[in-house]
């Protein structure tokens, strides 16, 4: 809606942003550094964070930076199925035809990993997303599936990602065989109060001189400081600023618009719903300013 108005060649706050155009927040840089260490060392790692904190984006950035001649990336976002479903997904990701019995699937995975690592000189990198939904049986089996040479070698990289309460699940006694094998453990943190002022120029909105202090700070506070939520908020802010110029709003109108946006952000933060946020804002602006 506002791209032509500001002469933008693309959506500055979209989900399809390229890794080289990312905003280098401290949490994002720390996550990438730890992921790089994990890939170099090999073994298990865990990346945790709230929804919209940038977990999957950091994993995608890491995956796209890997040399495909040296690493085979296998991304599995479906973790809510049965244990057998997860076994079959691992086998399929390795390019094998899944067998029927669990013991056969176990051997298939181990042989395929060893084939890639020792014969092809390619390290399999498994990215298991949304693992907070995984069944306890599969978390327990992970430690056995990736037990090579009596647990003396790591010809693989396994990254489990999920919401923060996954760390609580990993502390359970029966999950300890997996938890004690995790060599990298990191939780994505929200922005502080200062990054959004540099976040906007990084996204390419250099010509918007009407960005006031409230526009930069309040969205930061009510989106809980997470990148994805702020991007959605700034998209709507861009629409508000566009309508300000087209409708020639005065300062009072803009303050009302900001108030509507901030109220919607509070509702979004409480309910965890971006759709509720967008619906509230658009209905408010349509009734108050566009009639």
Q: Tokens 């999920």 appear where?
A: 162
* Residue 204 backbone zone (phi > 0: left; psi -120 to 50: alpha; other: beta): left
β-strand partners of 157: 43, 125
Say if residue 240 is in the same domain as residue 117: no
Say if residue 179 is in the same domain as residue 283: no
Say if residue 86 is in the same domain as residue 212: no
Q: Is residue 14 part of a domain?
A: no
pLDDT at 207: 40
pLDDT at 24: 72
Say if residue 112 is in the same domain as residue 154: yes
Q: Tokens 């029966």 appear where?
A: 174
Q: Is residue 19 part of a domain?
A: no
- Phi and psi (nearest 5°) for 249? -65, 150
Say if residue 118 is in the same domain as residue 220: no
Say if residue 31 is in the same domain as residue 148: yes
Residues 139, 179: Cα–Cα separation, whole Å: 9
% of the chain beyond a pLDDT of 70: 58
Report the range of poorest mean pLDDT among 28-37, 159-168, 225-234. 225-234
- Phi and psi (nearest 5°) for 75? -100, 125
pLDDT at 154: 92
For every residue of 118-168, DSSP letters joined together read IIS--EEEEEE-SGGGS-HHHHHHHHHHT-BTTTTB---EEEEEE-TTHHH
Q: Is residue 199 part of a domain?
A: no
Residues 152, 265: Cα–Cα separation, whole Å: 50
Say if residue 171 is in the same domain as residue 102: yes
Say if residue 176 is in the same domain as residue 213: no
Q: Is residue 83 part of a domain?
A: yes
- Phi and psi (nearest 5°) for 287? -75, -35
What is the per-residue pLDDT across 134-190, written as a single tens digit (0 to 9) for each? 888 899 899 999 999 888 899 999 999 999 999 999 998 889 999 999 999 999 887
pLDDT at 6: 59
Report the range of poorest mean pLDDT among 11-15, 46-50, 154-158, 284-288. 284-288
What is the per-residue pLDDT across 61-85, written as a single tens digit (0 to 9) for each? 999 999 999 999 999 987 777 889 9
Selected residue with higher pLDDT from 236 and 116: 116
pLDDT at 217: 45
Instruction: State both tokens at 137.
Output: 């049986």
Say if residue 53 is in the same domain as residue 146: yes
Model confidence band, residue 222 (pLDDT cutoffs 50, 70, 90): very low
**Which of 72-86, 252-266, 267-281: highest mean pLDDT?**
72-86
Report the range of poorest mean pLDDT among 79-93, 167-181, 262-276. 262-276
In sequence order, the 6+-apart residues with CB closer than 8 A to the CB of 262 are 218, 219, 222
Strands 157-162 and 182-187: unpaired
Residue 224 DSSP one-character state: T
Q: Reply yes or no on whether the pLDDT at 193 is more than 60.
A: no
Say if residue 72 is in the same domain as residue 125: yes
pTM over 0.75: no
Which residues constitute the domain of residue 263?
A: 207-288
Residues 36, 7: Cα–Cα separation, whole Å: 37
Model confidence band, residue 244 (pLDDT cutoffs 50, 70, 90): low
Say if residue 176 is in the same domain as residue 212: no
Which of 187, 221, 240 is a domain's end point? 187
Which of 126, 154, 187 is a domain's end point? 187
Q: Is residue 201 part of a domain?
A: no
Which of 158, 187, 216 is a domain's end point? 187
Q: Is residue 51 part of a domain?
A: yes
Report the range of poorest mean pLDDT among 29-33, 112-116, 207-211, 232-236. 207-211
Model confidence band, residue 234 (pLDDT cutoffs 50, 70, 90): low
Instruction: State both tokens at 173.
Output: 């006694």
| Among the listed residues 202, 219, 10, the one whose alpha carbon sits nearest the alpha carbon of residue 2 | 10
pLDDT, mean of residues 240-261? 57
Number of structural domains (the chain) is: 2
Q: Reply yes or no on whether the pLDDT at 199 is more than 60.
A: no
**Which of 30-39, 53-62, 233-242: highest mean pLDDT?**
30-39
Task: Name the H helices within 155-250.
Answer: 166-170, 176-179, 196-202, 213-222, 227-247
Q: Reply yes or no on whether the pLDDT at 215 is more than 90.
A: no
Residues 268, 232: Cα–Cα separation, whole Å: 11
Q: Is residue 35 part of a domain?
A: yes
Q: Is residue 42 part of a domain?
A: yes
Which domain CATH number covers 87?
3.40.50.300
Say if residue 108 is in the same domain as residue 180: yes
């Amino acid at each position: 809606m506002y791209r032509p108005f500001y002469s933008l060649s693309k959506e500055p706050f979209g989900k399809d942003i390229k890794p080289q155009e990312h905003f280098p927040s401290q949490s994002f840089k720390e996550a990438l550094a730890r992921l790089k260490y994990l890939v170099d060392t090999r073994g298990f790692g865990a990346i945790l964070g709230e929804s919209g904190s940038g977990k999957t984006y950091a994993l995608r950035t890491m995956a796209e930076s890997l040399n495909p001649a040296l690493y085979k990336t296998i991304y599995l976002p479906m973790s809510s199925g049965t244990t057998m479903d997860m076994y079959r997904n691992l086998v399929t990701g390795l390019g094998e035809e899944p067998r029927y019995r669990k013991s056969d699937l176990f051997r298939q995975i181990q042989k395929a990993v060893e084939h890639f690592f020792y014969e092809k000189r390619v390290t399999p990198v498994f990215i298991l997303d949304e693992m907070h939904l995984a069944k306890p049986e599969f978390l327990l089996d992970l430690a056995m599936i990736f037990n090579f040479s009596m647990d003396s070698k790591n010809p693989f990289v396994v990254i489990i990602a999920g919401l923060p309460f996954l760390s609580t699940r990993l502390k359970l006694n029966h999950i300890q065989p997996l938890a004690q094998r995790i060599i990298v453990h990191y939780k994505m943190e929200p922005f502080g109060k200062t990054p959004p002022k540099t976040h906007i120029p990084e996204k390419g909105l250099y010509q918007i001189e009407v960005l006031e202090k409230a526009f930069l700070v309040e969205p930061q506070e009510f989106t809980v400081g997470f990148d994805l939520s702020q991007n959605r908020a700034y998209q709507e802010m861009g629409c508000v600023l566009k309508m300000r110029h087209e409708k020639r709003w005065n300062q009072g109108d803009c303050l009302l618009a900001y108030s509507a946006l901030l109220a919607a952000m509070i509702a979004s933060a409480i309910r965890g719903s971006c759709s509720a946020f967008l619906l509230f804002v658009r209905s408010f602006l349509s009734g108050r300013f566009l009639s």
